[in-house]
Amino acid sequence: MAVSPIPGTVFGPRTILHHMRAARLHEYTEAMDDALSIDDVDTPQVNQADHVVVDIEGAGWCQTDNHAIEGMWEQYMPQDLPMTLGHENAGTVVETGDGVSTVEEGEQVICHTVMTCGTCRPCRLGEDMHCENIQFPGLSTDGGFADQLLTNERAVIPLPDGVDTTDIAPHADAGITAYHAVKLAARELNPGDHAVVIGVGGLGHIGLQCLNAMSPVTITAVDVKNSALDLADDLGAHHTVNPSEADVADEIDDLTDGNGAHQILDFVGSDETTALAPDVVAAGGDHYVVGYGGHVHEPSQALVNGDFSYQGTLVGQYTELQELVALVERGDVDLRTSRYNLGEINDVAAKLDRGEIEGRAVITP
């Protein structure tokens, strides 16, 4: 093989190192409109047998990216700045390690958010998010707001023919997170029960559709934006409540003859939304905290008297991403997306911060 000293190109043992663009965080900041810089970096290199490099065709922008920019993840994930954000990725496999047998070059995949080892005890139990050797591209290693992403074989789920990788990308996190919470809630829901979906944004609009597909319940959607409630209405919510116009507890009380809602799916997780639980959760029910950023401040006696629980949820298992892809293929879940190129990424960050993104923004590097 001829090795030519092209400037900016380095030849490794098996791969040519090229450069690519990546949107990277250099320092934590509150200034979303100037948070990331588009840097010229080396393309990822396969250096483990299970590594997979994916050419990114869609990378969803998530509220978690805003929180990462603010430094909220530093205490939960080892972060070495500068780091490329982006954890909702899908695209085409361009290179695989020697040990990879389930996907090959040219195959379209969605990338689960985390790379796990497969052999620690949580992995053996199927608790992928609790892996003792977890890596989280976009939060602990370089993510997908770039031309290419390094992940591993366990994390990539092949997509059925005809699925648009850009449109499906947000399911890698937003979708699976919503699905996982709904699957837990659905186990406790019986026909005729009432469920409440709080926040019909990026996650909530997916959660609402999953709930409709998986559980024969009456659904009330709650959001402070009337446009979000219109979307909820479109997607099958039976009732909608805007807390800035009506008292949520009174409305749920009326709708359930005073019994309350059996399961709450809270995709906001603010002080105000978690404070609803004592007044709206039916006895024995659960308030799933999926969105985050606020605090839970309820008296312990409220939980005892109401016999309800707050349950946090974190993303979901690889198998759940397969199940969600199946729901998408059946036509049960329609993701509302808008597309932006990599150069517009700070505008997207600022827009989401101001609540101006409907559905999910997807970056197309």
Q: Which residues bind Zn ion (CB under 5 A)?
A: 62, 64, 116-117, 120, 123, 131, 173
User: Residue 41 is encoded by which pair of tokens?
Assistant: 């970096």
Instruction: Assign residue 246 a region (left: φ > 0; alpha: ψ between -120 and 50; beta: otherwise).
Output: beta
Q: Report the residue number, 131 or 335, with the smaller CB distance to Zn ion.
A: 131
Q: Report the alpha-carbon angle 313-319-321, nearest 5.
A: 70
Q: Report the residue number, 54 or 219, with the smaller CB distance to Zn ion.
A: 54
Give least dist CB 304 to Zn ion, A: 34
Neighbours of 37 (CB within 10 A): 13
| Contact predicate 185/263, CB 8 Å | yes
Residue nearest to Zn ion (CB): 62
Give least dist CB 159 to Zn ion, A: 19
Q: Report the residue number, 62 or 198, with the smaller CB distance to Zn ion.
A: 62
Helix (H) / strand (E) containing 179: helix 174-186
User: Residue 129 is encoded by which pair of tokens?
Assistant: 């998010």
Give least dist CB 116 to Zn ion, A: 5
Give least dist CB 50 to Zn ion, A: 12
Q: Report the residue number, 115 or 277, with the smaller CB distance to Zn ion.
A: 115
Q: Report the residue number, 208 or 217, with the smaller CB distance to Zn ion.
A: 208
Q: Is the dihedral of CA 159, 162, 165, 171 positive or negative?
A: negative
Residue the block writes with tokens 């947000």: 170
User: Residue 25 is encoded by which pair of tokens?
Assistant: 């965080």
Give least dist CB 259 to Zn ion, A: 34
| CA atoms of 97 and 139, how far apart (whole Å) | 23
- Long-range CB pairs of 104-107 (<8 Å, 24+ gap) are 107/158
Give least dist CB 19 to Zn ion, A: 27
Q: Report the residue number, 24 or 262, with the smaller CB distance to Zn ion.
A: 24
